[in-house]
Amino acid sequence: MKKNVLITGASRGIGAACARTFARAGYDLYLCAQRSLEPLLQFQKELPSAYGISCHVSLCDVSSYEAVRALFADIPSLDILINNAGISHIGLLQDMSPAEWERLMSVNVSSCFYTAKCAIPLMLAQGHGRILNVSSVWGGVGASMETAYSASKGAVNAFTRALAKELAPSNIQVNAAAFGLIDTDMNQHLSESELRSLIQEIPADRIGSCEEAAALLFQLAHAPAYLTGQIVTMDGGWT
Ligand code: NAP
């Protein structure tokens, strides 16, 4: 029987690369983004005819439990959940407003709770499932000017480890991929010279691609079931 995957934040960047990677492997897709409907509709036009899969798309603000519940109302079963949607915030912590902090935490952390809460009953019913959370190296080591973002990804890491223990007896694996610098809109704020000096710190001497990030997530989705509760770092040897 065909397998399916829900990818949050699938309109661009790592999520969009995941959509193509899983479609190529024959997965039926559920894709969502917050605002960018056009790229999702483009996927809906291209991927089913190219790969013989189905592709359901919707706008969903994953920081809202009600919106996530509405998204899951149209998902009868789920094999893989990829919690990819995320936002960053660059600046000194003392300049961040409480509203900005709360927004970042709800998009990056609460969303993982909301989607998992809805996905787990579906996975329990079928006796298997995989939950993959997209994290960052900053969740482990922290980044100056990105304290809230680092804290949110640290929370995602702890969430991953704890939920993996809770769900291992039910044959549901929970892992995270902690990426270093990946070439997406999230890093658009970097000037050429900032990017160059960051790359000088990376032993691989380059930024990672979305396709590489998607390939790791695909491999984690197909890893032996004994792999659970792990935060797998992919950063070109940076941290
Ligand atoms: P991106 O290019 O900025 O794309 C972000 C995606 O998330 C978009 O599809 C966006 O949808 C969606 N999104 C944002 N807020 C959302 C919300 N409230 N509800 C639903 N969808 C929402 O970012 P990216 O670099 O691919 O990042 C993907 C994940 O990788 C994030 O969790 C990020 O923290 C993580 N990560 C990225 C890097 C990196 O260097 N790029 C490194 C480590 C970890 P819209 O298009 O509708 O806004």
CB 83 near ligand 1, within 6 Å: no
Report the C-alpha gap between 15 and 162 in whole angstroms. 24
User: pLDDT tens digit string along 197-225?
Assistant: 999 999 999 999 999 999 999 999 999 99
CATH number of residue 58's parent domain: 3.40.50.720
pTM over 0.85: yes
Distances (CA, A) of 132 to 46, 91, 216: 25, 28, 11
Residues 6+ apart with CB under 8 A from 168: 228, 229
Å from CA of 13 to ligand 1 middle? 7
- Evaluate whether residue 113 is within a structural domain: yes
Which residue, judged by its Cα, is nearest atom 36 of ligand 1? 136
Is 239 within the bounds of a domain?
A: no
Choosing from 30, 114, 149, 226, which is the catalytic residue?
149
H and E: helices and strands count for the chain = 9, 7
Q: Say how many domains are in the chain.
A: 1
Would you call 149 a catalytic residue per the annotation? yes
Q: Is 12 in the pocket of ligand 1 (CB under 6 A)?
A: yes
The pLDDT assigned to 99 comes to 98
Which residues span the domain enclosing 97? 4-234
Q: Residue 172 is inside which H or E element, if any?
A: strand 172-179
**pLDDT in the model for residue 1:** 78
Stretches in the chain below the pLDDT threshold 50:
none
